[in-house]
Amino acid sequence: MILRGKAVVGDRTIDDAVVVTERDRISWVGAADEYRGPSPLPQPTSSILLPGLIDLHCHGGGGTEFSSSDAAGARHAINHHRGQGTTSQLGSLVSAREPVLLRQAEILAGLVESGELLGIHLEGPFLSRARCGAQDPDAIVPGDPGLFERVCDAARGTVRSMTLAPETAHFGKLLTVMRRRGVIPSLGHTDADAATTSARIADAAGQPVVATHLFNAMPPLHHRAPGAAGACLAAAGRGDMIVELIADGTHLAPETVSMVFDTVDPDQIVLVSDAMVAAGMADGDYHLGPLDVRVTQGVARLATSDGSEGAIAASTARLLDVVRSTVVDSGVDLGIAVASASRVPARLLGLEFERGTLAPNHRADIVVTDHQLRLRGVVVGGMPVGEEGVAWNS
């Protein structure tokens, strides 16, 4: 396969580029005028060629979710996001009681083993009830290393990251188990102050550590009380932490997104979707785990009995939507924004020589968009995929 268009290669762009694939690998990438292959070149196009996007925080989409679905339902959510440009992802589970966590971890483990997911992300249950957001407060429990071990065993070693509050009980013991099992700690859903958060980041020194959806589900940044947000920003500025941003236009103001990119080395920023069951669906009533959610004008909020505005309940965006918003609304450079949704998450997962960049010998995962970053098509492992009605040809 030979694709031609403006290409994002690393964190730079080539205006008229060619990407050549052979079987499931990229065999050549470069400027069109440097191409010397045996096959004729396609005509120049207005397409943009991106590396396949990698989502580290995704709960579902297309009408199904990972926290309650069987394998077929979870696969439907994976395929929905794959058809929208997320060629690799973790499957995120919300806080739940132990039997549910064990059941869903076992289901998702099979999808990791089949290569459909990169791993499992546990968002809880060792969170702050005061900052539970759209998590079930009744499912949130103090840190319990034994419970964590049991979930990891049910997942057959496929848990790759876990969100936990810095102030949860037995944080140090949990961190020890995470190191042993190769699980990335991600701090979030916290009411901790800056000192506590900074101490926990220091405790994790020597291994990657992430901030789960920075600014969301934590105290707002205040000049006299910087809180977890301030501690995480400072750590990312030092290169000691990677911060997630849900740059969907709902969770964060566009100016907040641009501020973080202007303040922190982009290699320390990961764009995520935090997508839920309603991603790609019409407005209406849905659920996130056991909680009822109402989507209005594309914004998901917890349903309330009195009709008042509930807490934001994850996102209805796909990762390509987040990249587009980051570029168009926040003014972040295209190459930098794309790298934060591809190369940086690949590096965090130890896959930087396999995925996340348009480069020879990398897996042929390619997203084709128009000049406005609207999807034209997706290539996964060298094979075109897509939804009905979406042509990938430029």
pLDDT score for 304: 85
User: Which domains does the chain show, CATH number per domain?
Assistant: 2-50+358-385 (2.30.40.10), 53-348 (3.20.20.140)
- pLDDT band at residue 393 under the 50/70/90 scheme: very low
- The sign of the dihedral angle between the CA atoms of 67, 72, 76, 78 is positive
pLDDT in tens, 107-132: 999 999 999 999 999 999 999 999 99
pLDDT of res. 392: 39
Please give the average per-residue pLDDT across 371-381, as a whole number: 97
Q: What is the pLDDT of residue 214?
A: 98
Among 300-304, 327-331, 389-393, the range of highest mean pLDDT = 327-331
Strands of 86-94's sheet, edge to edge?
Answer: 53-55, 86-94, 119-123, 159-164, 184-187, 210-211, 242-245, 269-271
Peptide bond into 125 cis (omega under 30): yes
Q: Give the per-residue pLDDT at 262.
A: 98
Residue 283: Cβ-neighbour burial (10 angstroms; 0-12, 13-18, 19+): middle
Tokens coding 88: 């690799």
Tell me the average pLDDT across 304-321: 89
How far, CA to CA in Å, does 276 sit from each of 39, 184, 268, 313? 43, 22, 25, 8
User: Where residue 329 falls among pLDDT bands split at 50, 70, 90?
Assistant: very high
Mean pLDDT of 248-270: 98
- The pLDDT of residue 387 is 61
Per-residue model confidence (pLDDT) at position 391:
34
* pLDDT given at position 388: 35
pLDDT of residue 309: 83
- Check pLDDT > 90 for residue 224: yes
Helix, strand, coil proportions of the chain in percent (round to 5)? 30, 25, 45
The model's confidence at residue 305, banded by pLDDT at 50, 70 and 90, is confident
pLDDT of 308 over the 60 cut = yes
Instruction: Give φ, ψ of 158 to 5 degrees.
Output: -100, 0
How many C-beta atoms surround the C-beta of residue 12 within 10 A? 12
Confidence of residue 206 (pLDDT cuts 50, 70, 90): confident
> What average pLDDT does the chain have?
95
* Chain centroid offset of residue 261 CA: 17
Q: What is the pLDDT of residue 386?
A: 72
- Give the pLDDT confidence of 151-197 residue by residue, as tens digits: 999 999 999 999 999 999 999 999 999 999 999 999 999 999 999 99
Q: What is the DSSP string of 28-69?
A: EEEEGGG---SSPPPPP-S-EEEEPEEES-B-EETTEETTT-
Q: What is the mean pLDDT of residues 39-64?
A: 97
Q: What is the pLDDT of residue 10?
A: 85
Query: For a pLDDT cut of 90, what percent of the chain falls above it?
Result: 91
What does the pLDDT average to over 263-280? 97
Vertex 167, ends 165 and 172: CA angle to 5°?
90
